[in-house]
Amino acid sequence: MKAVTFQGKKAMEAKEVEDPKIRENTDMIIRITASGICGSDLHLYHGGIVPESDYVVGHEPMGIVEEVGSGVKNLKKGDRVVIPFNVGCGDCFFCNNQMESQCDHSNPHGEPGSLFGFGSDFGNYPGGQAEYLRVPYADFTSFKVPDLLKYRNQVNWKMSSCYSYLT
Amino acid sequence: MEDEQLLFLSDVIPTSYWSVEHSGVKKGDTVIVLGSGPIGLMTQKFAWLKGATRVIAVDQVEHRLEHARKTNNVETYNFSNNEKVGELLHEETGGGADVVIDCVGMDGAVPPNTSFGSKHNNQFGTISPLITASQSVRKFGTVQVTGVYGTEANNFPLGDFFTRNVSLKTGQAPVIHIMPKLYEMIENKTFDPTDIITHRASLDDAAKVYDIFDKKEDGSIKVIFKP
């Protein structure tokens, strides 16, 4: 796939890299439709954080679910999702108490929580300025955009059945 | 809804919303927002929505201050014309703001006659926004640090915080749990999350748009990729 990669100080370049794959059964892969550049991406750009070469950057993505692991419960292929910059396991003290930016399980390299696209100190999760992204703990680390058309149709259907019942 | 209305649920919107909530802004407050980039601009909107009666933006990039005036109806101060902006804000707010939110972090502009970082190489960037915050917050006020500081800070004015009873709150926003609420606010058109977008690019343009965004050239505020 194509992705924006770190190539050294003041060198972010589009490059072909390997497609992300499901690793844990709670992962999903999304096809990215939009992705922001953030001021904090400039910390890498200026050399304040130095990931390995070809590391994929970015932490403001959204897109369409392409594939889900067997342990993902609430998402399926085709769902539209926005991905937060925090990676949260959804199952620790911090995630359970609305402090998911300090998730205890998602960062094997240190005590602070994990972030997409910030190198090894923050979990070593590749980022979202790319065509595809692996999202760990997919059920928790995502916001599923409600399908408004479907929702409205359901409401209409319920209303019309009430109406039929009344008449 | 379009991608552009939803994309910033990933970071900009919840980080800004959380900054205002976490800092404890309440009805009638004066709020100073340091930095008028994407997070600063969004924070200005949420400060108004929380009931602030005065919202003041500080930056040195004129087109971003212009955008703040135009879209968020805030007072603006350009610190490139004002070396002592912290003291000026203290005076203009009659003793300091209730809340100052630092949306800059260690990447802020280094003031003239100040050395960048330190000779010990332990500090990345500048802490000048924190100095401005300590000067422009009122006694018993709160400084919320949302911009990122990842290293030690040399000459951090701890005494100025202590002697004036200023609270300091910091950190990465926990955004996941607030995304649904903010989605509803976008759906209800409570605020417009799209007005910060100035550039749309393909991944192939990465090198070029990073350069523009870094230098804040070409009127840039927020750049998004459409892969």
Give residue-wise pLDDT tens across range B123-151: 888 899 999 999 999 999 999 999 999 88
Chain B hits for A129, Cβ within 8 Å: 203, 206, 225, 227
Residue % of chain B over a pLDDT of 90: 87
- Taking an 8 Å cut-off on Cβ atoms, the answer to whether B11 and A3 are in contact is no
CA distance B137 to chain A (A): 25
CA separation for the pair A143, B179 (Å, rounded):
7
Q: Which CATH number is associated with domain B3-170?
A: 3.40.50.720
B176 touches B200 (CB < 8 A): no
B67 touches B59 (CB < 8 A): no
Question: Residue B108 has what pLDDT?
Answer: 86
Task: With a cut of 70, say whether residue A75 has pLDDT above it.
Answer: yes
The string of pLDDT tens digits covering residues A101-111 is 999 999 999 99
Question: Residue B214 has what pLDDT?
Answer: 96
- Taking an 8 Å cut-off on Cβ atoms, the answer to whether A62 and B171 are in contact is no
Find the closest chain B residue to A40 by CA distance: B148
Bridge partner list, A51 = none
Task: With a cut of 50, say whether residue B163 has pLDDT above it.
Answer: yes
Question: Residue A156 has what pLDDT?
Answer: 60
Candidates B7, B148, B223; nearest CB to A40: B148
- Taking an 8 Å cut-off on Cβ atoms, the answer to whether A82 and B148 are in contact is no
Question: Residue A153 has what pLDDT?
Answer: 63
Task: With a cut of 60, say whether residue A163 has pLDDT above it.
Answer: no
CA separation for the pair B100, B132 (Å, rounded):
9
- A167 confidence band (pLDDT: 50, 70, 90): very low
CA distance A11 to chain B (A): 7
Task: With a cut of 80, say whether residue B119 has pLDDT above it.
Answer: no
CA distance B219 to chain A (A): 15
Six-digit token string for B183: 């989605």
- A151 confidence band (pLDDT: 50, 70, 90): low
Contacts of B86 (CB under 8 A, 6+ apart): B131, B132, B133, B134, B135, B136
- A40 confidence band (pLDDT: 50, 70, 90): very high
Question: Residue A165 has what pLDDT?
Answer: 55
User: Quick check: pTM over 0.90?
Assistant: yes
Residue contacts between A and B (CB atoms, under 8 Å)? 160
Q: Is B3 on the interface with A (CB under 8 A)?
A: yes
Residue % of chain A over a pLDDT of 90: 85
- Taking an 8 Å cut-off on Cβ atoms, the answer to whether A143 and B179 are in contact is yes
The string of pLDDT tens digits covering residues B51-98 is 999 999 999 999 999 999 999 999 999 999 888 999 999 999 999 999
Nearest to A81 by CA among A124, A29, A150: A29
DSSP-assigned letters across all residues of chain B? --HHHHGGGGTHHHHHHHHHHHHT--TT-EEEEE--SHHHHHHHHHHHHTT-SEEEEEES-HHHHHHHHHHH--EEEEGGG-TTHHHHHHHHTTS-EEEEEE---TTSPPPTT--SS-TTS---S--HHHHHHHHHEEEEEEEEE-S---S--TT--HHHHHHTT-EEEE-----GGGHHHHHHHHHTTSS-SSTTEEEEE-GGGHHHHHHHHHHT-TT-SEEEE--
Q: Domains in chain A and their CATH numbers? A: 2-166 (3.90.180.10)
Give me the mean pLDDT over the B5-20 stretch: 98
Q: Is B225 on the interface with A (CB under 8 A)?
A: yes
Question: Residue B118 has what pLDDT?
Answer: 62
Chain A hits for B14, Cβ within 8 Å: 84
Candidates B9, B107, B172; nearest CB to A82: B9
Question: Residue A154 has what pLDDT?
Answer: 60
Q: Which part of chain B has CATH 3.40.50.720?
A: 3-170
Candidates B179, B210, B224; nearest CB to A82: B179
- Taking an 8 Å cut-off on Cβ atoms, the answer to whether B222 and A37 are in contact is yes
Nearest to B204 by CA among B225, B183, B174: B225
Task: With a cut of 80, say whether residue A159 has pLDDT above it.
Answer: no
Q: Residue by residue, what is the 3-state secondary structure of chain A?
A: CEEEEECCCCCEEEEECCCCCCCCCCCEEEEEEEEEECCCHHHHHCCCCCCCCCEECCCCEEEEEEEECCCCCCCCCCCEEECCCEECCCCCHHHHCCCHHHCCCCCCCCCCCEEECCCHHHCCECCCCECEEEECCCCCCCEECCCHHHHHHHHHHHHHHHHHHHC
CA distance A161 to chain B (A): 27
Kindly give the pairing relationship between strand A2-6 and strand A132-135.
unpaired
- Taking an 8 Å cut-off on Cβ atoms, the answer to whether A84 and B176 are in contact is yes
Give me the mean pLDDT over the A67-95 stretch: 98
CA distance A13 to chain B (A): 5
